[in-house]
Each structure stands twice: as structure tokens, then as C-alpha cells.
Structure 1
Amino acid sequence: MIPVSHPFLPPKDEYDQLLSKLWESKWLTNNGVFVQQLERLLEDYLRVPSLHYVSNGTIALQLAIKALGLKNEIITTPFSFVATTTSILWEQCTPIFVDIDPKTLCIDANQIEVAITEKTEAILATHVYGIPCDVEKIEEIANRYHLKVIYDAAHSFGVQYKGRSIVSYGDLSTLSFHATKLYHTIEGGAVINNSGQHLDEQITQLRSFGFVGENYYSAGINGKNSEFHAAMGLCNLKYIDVIIENRKKRTREYDELLDGKLGRILIPENTHYNYSYYPVLFRSEEELLATQWKLKKNNIDTRRYFYPSLNKLPYVAKDDSCPISEDISKRILCLPLHDGVKEEDIIRISALITEKETLSIF
């Protein structure tokens, strides 16, 4: 089986060396040495002022919403992983869906202003597949209407836009370090704060039950991560540039073999991309399902990432119409892309996809 994703693992002896230090220190969690070291190294690598390492990407989103004190409407995208929406709901806020740009699949910044009401407090947008949102337009709208901006950058580790780390945009950005991501800490995530010391203090408290020392300040949660996870992150960070370069190479092989045969997503100019996924667009859902079935029969895993459009979730009370997202979500499929995929795999996958009985070329 060729999986659609699988985790990069560093040389085992490198991880074992760090584990031996944990056995000696017995400091396993509660903001240990490895967590602190990882936070500083990630701040340097991503060129951001402040990063808080947390237990997963969903908690990162919830902490971002809570730290900003949001309680009402949040304008968001219908085309993302379900955690983007459920984090809003979990924090008792109301998601207001705005449709997506058909070229980048990120939230259509030109439609945001129409959705703003007196209850709107923030914009929560996703850099889909690591493709940057229209950050300039979103910033301009947010400033004009005094809204907070959170970016779900779960797919965006290492992405730069106009020479800046993509996670340096917005009041807060969040990352996921889940095992399926190109950079992972087994489980994990981060909140990146671009808005000063006060928010740093808020996030620090909220991540650890709302207390500092023996003093309780707020209703926090246990969002901390362990030294074992941080140790994996320290090991993997050394290989991140090699990981991205390998994905770039495999992406170009797909591009060459599938050129003109499937729809692709636009990567904006001035973007230093991370090649986190390889999504392709079919002409219809029927073509997608036929191809997915054929690949599965040949032991090749794929993923309908993202399906369904989040405005169609059964537990979302407000059914905003998002026709582009609803259409794209039915026709998009992610192909295998990770360090385990070889050139011969790309050739085989592409040949199966382009066989005429499976796909009508368009």
C-alpha cells in the first residue's frame, strides 16, 4: 500500500539520545527543557516574535480564540479541515462562512466585507494546502472594521510570502505538528503571537489551567505538550529543509506527468512554498470517485481533503451558501506525497489516473 501520507522519522539513535536525557532528568512535561528549546528554535526558524508550543493544532485554534476574548461572530472559510469550524463552535462563537477563491481555494477576501455585521469580531482564515490567503486585503479590512485576524496555518510550516514567514501575518497564527504534517512532533501544535506581551501572558496562562505559580487568573485548559513530543520536534527540525526539497521534487514529477490532465491550484507570486500536499481537481465527483476506487484497488491511498464543505456540516446552525466551496470539495483529491513516495510510484500513480477508461481528459 502506498499511503497518502506517512510521518518522517529521524535516525532512531538521535531520538534515543534525547530520551536518555529524559530518563536521567525525569522532567517529562510541564514546560521542560526540550519544550523551551524547541520554542526558541522554532521562533528562529520561522522568524516570529513569540511561539507557544501546545498539545495539538485544534487546541492552538481554541487558545487563539480564547486569548483574543472572542464571543460572537467569526468570519471563516468553508474549505478547511473540520477543526477550523469546530474550534469556533467549541468556544461558543458563531462561524459565518464566506466562499473561497476558485484559484487558490483560500477564503475570497473580496467577499468578506459583505459578511460583516455589528456582531462580527474576527476573521479566521486558512492558508489552504499552505497557499497564502490574500493577507494584504484581509489586513486592510480588519483594520478598517477593527477586527481581529487569526490564520489557521496548519499546512503552512516553512511557507514565506513576500519574504516574510506566512505565520507572521495576523494577530495570531496557529500551526499543527500532527504526524501527517511535513514537520511533526508526533502530536503537537503552536500559537504564534504577533501582537505583543499581553497576549503572550494570556496564552501562557490559558495553556496551563489559567494559573501562574499558585495564583489562578483565568479558566484555562491543559494545552501543554510533553518532553517526548518536543524531543521528536528537535530531531525533525534538523531535516525540514531536506523534507521540503524532496516534496518539491516529487511535486514536479507529478506536474510533468499530469500536465494539462487535471486541475491544479494557483500558488500566488512571491510565495516560497512548502509542497505540503498534492491536490488535484477532477471535472466531476463521478470522475473523482472512479479514480479513487481504481487507485485503492491498486493499493494506492488518496484522501478527499477537504470534503464536505464545512458550511454543510450537520451541526452548523447557519447554512451559508458557498457554491464554489461546495463544488470544489466534491471534485478535489489529494494524491500521495511524502518522503516514502519514490519516482516509480509517481509514474505508476499518474499512469493509472490518466488511463482513458478512468478519466476523460479535459
Structure 2
Amino acid sequence: MINVAKSFLPPFETYTEYLKGIWERGHLTNHGPLVNELEEKLRDYLGVKHFFFVNNGTIALQIAIRALDLKGEIITTPFSYVATTSSIVWEQAEPVFVDIDPETFTIDAAKIEESITERTTGILATHVYGIPCNTVEIERIAAKFNLKVIYDAAHAFGVQHRGKGVMNFGDISTLSFHATKLFHTVEGGGITTNDDDVAHRIAYMRNFGHKGQEDFWGMGINGKSSEFHAAMGLCVFPYINEILETRKELSQYYETCLAENGIKLQRPIITLDTNYNYSYYPVVFETEKQLLAVRDALNAAYIYPRRYFYPSLNKLVYVNNRSMEVAESVAARVICLPLYHDLSKENIRRICSIIGDILKY
């Protein structure tokens, strides 16, 4: 069986060494030493001023919205994982969708300004598949209209953009460290900011608002993660450069094999000023019918790509369903092929051969 993703696991003995330390200390959660160590390593690696390790990427988004006090309308993308939209609605704000760029699949910054109203308080944009948004234009618009900016960077771990880590753009960036991500802590997420005041609020918000044992700074939520999850992160972290290099090599091999099979499929454009992380391998077919035929043929061979991201989020039952022509079209025709650290080149050849056979007819 070949799934779309497979978790990278470090040597078992390395993880159990961390477990021994947890048992000896008896400190399982509530900002233990391993959580603190992981936060420090990731802050330095990502090149940001403040980094907070939380228990998942959705909580990261919810805390980000609260920390920036976003209410009313939030401009966002219809092409992302559902948590990008559901977090806005969960926090009792209204998502206002702006269609996506047909080349990068990120939010079309040229269309943002026309959707801004007096109720707009922020922009929540996704670096889709790890491909950075048009940060220059989004920053210009945010400054012009005094809006806050959150980047959902769940797919963008390790990406460099315009000469620096992509987490340095916007007021807050959020990450997911779910087991399927290239860097993971089994379950987990992260929040980054370079703003001291925003960091102050996040620090309290992720821990119920506690200010000591008997006082509260304000309202918060349980966003903490455990020593066990931090231990996995610390075990995976030393391999991150190897993981990134392997994913790049496998992605390039897909390019070679697709070409050898005479397959020409649209791929999202990665801007020249980006050092990419190869977090996914999305391909876009000419029609949804083609996509479904390829998916079924791959499934019959026990190969399971996934329709990241389908449906277009403006189609969710709990949002205002405005037509998003580009997002709906891409969502219907895009699929992510299997990509993970120990995926063999032989299996990539099999995948491309099956796709080629289907597209010949």
C-alpha cells in the first residue's frame, strides 16, 4: 500500500532515550524542559523572534485570530485545508473569500482590495503546498487599510522567501506538525511572531490565561503540548535537512518519469525568490473526469493519492457560498501524488506509468 503521505520516524532507540528522561523527571506536560528545548531550536531554525509550540495547527489558527482581536470579516482563501476557514467561523468571525491565482494557487492578491469593507479586520492567507503568497502586495494592502495579517503556513516549514524564512511575514504565522507533515511531532503545531506585544498575548492565551497559579491575565484556551510530543520533534529535527533534500530529489524524479511517459500536467508555479520545501507533489488534470479515472486506477493498484484540497472551501455548508471560479476549477482537477521520505523511485515509476496508461485513452 502506498499512501499519499507517510510519517518520518527516527530511530526507535533515540526516542526511548528521551522517554527515559521523561520518566525520571516525572514532568509530562505544562511547559516541560523538552518543550522549551524544542521551542528554542525551532525559533532559531525558522529565524523568528518568538515561537510557541502548541498542540495542533488548528488551535494555532484560533489563538492567532484571538491574539490579533480579529472580528467582523476576515479575507481568506477558498483553496486550503478546511481548518483555515473553520477556525474563522469557530471564532465567530466571517470568512470573505477571494479567488486564487491560477498559477500559484495562493490567494490572488490583486483581488483582495475590492473585497475589503468597513467590517474587515484582517487577512488570513495560506502558503498553499508551501508556496508563498504574494507577500509584497498583501503587506501593501494591509498597511493601506490597517489590517492584520495571519499566514497559515501549515505546509511551509523550512521555506525561504525573499531572502528570509517565510514565517517572518505578516503579524503571525501558524504551522502544523501533524504526523503527515515533513516535520512532525505526531500531533502539534506552532505559532510565530516578531511582535513582542502579540507574543505576550499568545503566551497567556495558550495556557488558559494563567498568570501564576491563582491569577489570570485574561481568557485563554488549552493550547499546550506534552513532553512526549516534544520528544518526537527533537528526534525528527536533526534529520530535517536530509528530509528536505530527499523530497526535492523525489519530486525531481517525478518530473523525469512523467516526461518519459509523455505526461504533461499543470503544476503550481513556485516564484523565483523562493527556496521551496517540496512538501507536496500536486498535479492538475485537464478535467475532473481524468482525475477520477487516474485516482481509480491508482487505487486499484493500492496506491492512494489525495485530492488536496477538495472541495473549494466556499462550498462548505456553514459559509456564504459565493462563486470562486478559479478555486473551484482547480479543486476539482488537482490531486497530490504520494511523496514521503522512503518512497522508492521504483514506485514513482509505477505511479507515472499508470497515469500515462490512463491518459492515453
TM-score by length of 1: 0.97
* 2:248 paired residue number: 248
Match of 1:337 among 324, 336, 339: 339
Q: Measure, in 1, the Cα distance between the counterparts of 2:193 and 2:348.
A: 39
Partner SS for 2:173: strand
Deviation at 1:162, TM superposition (A): 1.6
Partner SS for 2:17: helix
* 1:162 paired residue number: 162
Match of 1:279 among 262, 275, 282: 282
Equivalences for residues 128-167 of structure 1 within 5 A: 128-167=128-167
Deviation at 1:217, TM superposition (A): 2.1
Q: Measure, in 2, the Cα distance between the counterparts of 1:69 and 1:190.
A: 19
Residue 215 in 1 paired to residue 215 in 2? Answer: yes
Q: Which amino acid aligns with 1:295?
A: L
Q: Measure, in 1, the Cα distance between the counterparts of 2:306 and 2:137.
A: 31
Partner SS for 2:179: coil
Describe the superposition over 1:266-292 as per-residue Cα deviations: whole angstroms up to 9, x where unpaired: 000111000000000000000000000
* 1:18 paired residue number: 18
Residue 205 in 1 paired to residue 204 in 2? Answer: yes
Q: Which amino acid aligns with 1:115?
A: S
Contact 1:31 1:224 in 2 (8 A): yes
Contact 1:96 1:320 in 2 (8 A): no
Q: Measure, in 2, the Cα distance between the counterparts of 1:212 and 1:350.
A: 56
Describe the superposition over 1:259-314 as per-residue Cα deviations: whole angstroms up to 9, x where unpaired: 35211110001110000000000000000000000000001011000000000101
Contact 1:170 1:194 in 2 (8 A): no
Contact 1:154 1:175 in 2 (8 A): yes
Partner SS for 1:352: helix
Partner SS for 2:41: helix
* 2:94 paired residue number: 94
Contact 1:14 1:235 in 2 (8 A): yes
Unpaired runs of 5+ residues, structure 1, are none
Q: Measure, in 2, the Cα distance between the counterparts of 1:315 and 1:88.
A: 11
Q: Measure, in 2, the Cα distance between the counterparts of 1:76 and 1:37.
A: 33
Identical columns (%): 54
Q: Measure, in 2, the Cα distance between the counterparts of 1:289 and 1:313.
A: 21
State how many pairs are aligned.
Answer: 357
* 1:307 paired residue number: 310
Partner SS for 2:112: helix
Partner SS for 1:238: helix
TM-score by length of 2: 0.98
Q: Which amino acid aligns with 1:335?
A: L
Equivalences for residues 1-362 of structure 1 within 5 A: 1-195=1-195, 197-213=196-212, 214-259=214-259, 261-316=264-319, 318-355=320-357, 358-360=358-360
Detail structure 1 runs of 4+ shifted over 3 Å in the superposition.
none
Unpaired runs of 5+ residues, structure 2, are none
Q: Measure, in 1, the Cα distance between the counterparts of 2:16 and 2:284.
A: 42
Deviation at 1:148, TM superposition (A): 0.1
RMSD over aligned CA atoms reads 0.9
Contact 1:261 1:354 in 2 (8 A): no
Deviation at 1:320, TM superposition (A): 2.1
